[in-house]
Amino acid sequence: MSSESETIETNENPESCSEEKMDSGEESESNNSEAEEEEDDDSEDDVSYIKTRRGIIQMNKEGKKPDRLNGEYSYQNKIKQRVIGQPCLECKMECERRIAERFRQDNYLVFWGKLKTWEERRSHVRRLIQVLRVPHPKNKTRKKFLRKYYLEMEDGFTLVCKTMFFNTLAISAKFIETTLQKYPDNVLEESTMKLVNCPSIVTKSLDNSSKANRHLQEVKEEKVNQIVKFEDLPLEGQLLDIQNKEDIKPACNNCQEQCTVKISEENRLKLYEHFWTNLQSWEERKLFIINTVERDRYTSVRTFVLPMKDDGQVTVCQDMYMNTLALSDKTLDLLIPKTETIAKVIKKKPTTDYPDLAQLQKHNNITIIQKSKDLTKECTITATPPPIKRRKLEFTPLKPPCACVLQCKLKLTEDIREQIHKEFWNLPAQVDQKHFILSTLQVQLEKNKITKEKVNQIKSYTLPFHYDCVTVCKEMYLQTLTVSEDFILSTINNINQDGSIREDDEQMETQNTQPRRKYVMKNRNNKTLEPKSGEQIKVEEIVKPERKTRTNKKMGPPCPDSCRHHCSGKITEEERTNLHSNFWINMDWQGRKQFVMNTVKEFPIKNRSTPPGKLTKRNFSRIYTLPLQGKNLTVCQKMYFNTLSICSKFVSTVHIWASQVKW
């Protein structure tokens, strides 16, 4: 029994031990949890929570405030450092081949290292971008401005594509848009920029193999080395060939431009030697003449220029130019004619070389009457239609601005108007001028109530000004562009559905081809007869308007005795009649205006008796006087108007006229 009891005790003891261990574990866990809760309570005092879009974020109270300038924010996130991007791949301008990596690194370090403020960076970017206006956008939805991007090199600037520019400076398109809005004008002109290592357009062959390239090079070398005979040359080449070289001729005498003062004999000899010895082929001489002679396309006046040292040019007369280079009139008229030559259509005689009759008809515009072997006898050439007359715009100089309510003269200065006028008239073709007009007008389709046809009507007129458009009046628009209103209406009414403009030839063809509608007068019997007598009743006698008969001006009665100025006591009836007859008989219209201006004076109102909330149109008061005995006697309004038999409207129009006249 004792052993059993011991075993039972031993069995009971492990349970008690395990229970004791559990109790001790629970106590330790409770102690740890209490310690953690105390720590959490302490930490909750030092930590605050902020709700953001990303979630709930902790923020230490004892910690420093975030430095937002250096990229630190409340949720402990920093802005990533700018990194230079990769160069462009498969670019048409071949920027990766032209620009080395060290030049890209230099541009990047200058932009983000040396330039500290954003204003400096914006001005630097604006210096590297050129914004050019597209003169005649054919489609309104397309862009109206062209941007060119440049990067700095050691010697100058080089043209790059958009991706290369953005990746090199590590900027976005939004940054450039804001810079262009802030600085709209170009800092540097494209003509003054020194361009280095710019892209060149290279024609790529279809076969990229080495054999094909070698073959092309061999063909080119053969063409260069091949000597062309003098007889095989065109007329221009024969005239500019060395075989037709002549000696230099003497300079011009008594010239209005004083060419002998501008150019010495030594310079003339140098130009002569350069033209005939340094320029080896006739094609180079032809290019020299084309680049030094300009012809105005409107006045067909030719201006002659000779190059000098330091890239300078001197304008000379025609005799000086031709005598210096030893040229003839024939060569000059061939290369640069005074008027544009029109190609003549030469018709060939019908021959039996064409086996197919349909081909013969298409080639020579021939209609065959009967089938026979001898085609020359039995074929009749159809008469060609008469040439269509094209409506041409004639150049007109700039007209003075308007004087309207919109104050267009203040919006656009004379220099800006001259620039717009030159830009419009320097466009190459008449279609381009029409596109320019359509881009500056706001047109809307409206239905005509009578004809029920949809017609384009102009809502507003605008003119380009600093990458934007300014609304102006109709008169200012027409006088700036110097175009007639009929030309603008014809361009608006001749627009196709796809937005393109019909040519003048197409317009004339449609007018000629469309059959005219014949108007037939209806037999309208306007005669009416009386039912009893049967005589004709003439409506003209009943409805005929009576002519107004204008009577002579009559003097009105004087003012009553209750007048404040007592005008009837100052002026007699004889004096009033003399003033009336002198005003209407002895004076002309200009003299009457001057008389009213001298006798009626306007003064601004100083003290108003009306309450402050009530508005009145009256802004001035008038004093009326009449000249008598060498003095101006003040009279009332009624006495003045009745004596001269005029009204208040006459006086107000005279004062408005005087304010507009430039004295």
User: Mean pLDDT, 10 residues at a time, over the chain (663 residues)?
Assistant: 43 47 50 52 52 51 51 49 83 86 88 89 91 66 80 88 91 90 84 78 42 55 55 76 85 83 87 87 84 75 82 83 88 76 41 44 42 40 44 77 84 88 84 84 81 82 83 90 88 72 53 53 58 69 68 89 89 92 91 92 81 74 90 92 92 85 54
- The one-letter code for the residue type at 190 is E
pLDDT reported for residue 150: 93
Contact predicate 306/321, CB 8 Å: yes
Q: How many CB atoms lie within 10 A of CB 107?
A: 21
Q: How many CB atoms lie within 10 A of CB 264?
A: 11
pLDDT reported for residue 543: 66
Contacts of 193 (CB under 8 A, 6+ apart): 150, 156, 157
Query: Taking the model in full, what pTM does it have?
Result: 0.27
Instruction: Kindly list the domain boundaries of the chain, sorted by start residue.
Output: 2-44, 95-182, 230-335, 408-502, 567-607+617-660
C-alpha pair distances (Å), 279 with each of 242, 282, 290, 329: 10, 8, 14, 21
- Rounded CA separation 488/467 (Å): 23
pLDDT reported for residue 151: 92
pLDDT reported for residue 548: 73
pLDDT reported for residue 92: 86
pLDDT reported for residue 77: 45
DSSP one-letter code for 309:
S
Contact predicate 158/196, CB 8 Å: yes
Burial 214-227 (b: 16+ CB within 10 A, else e): eeeeeeeeeeeeee
Q: Which residue has the tokens 């559990």?
A: 22
- Rounded CA separation 217/552 (Å): 100
Give the three-class secondary structure for 467: coil
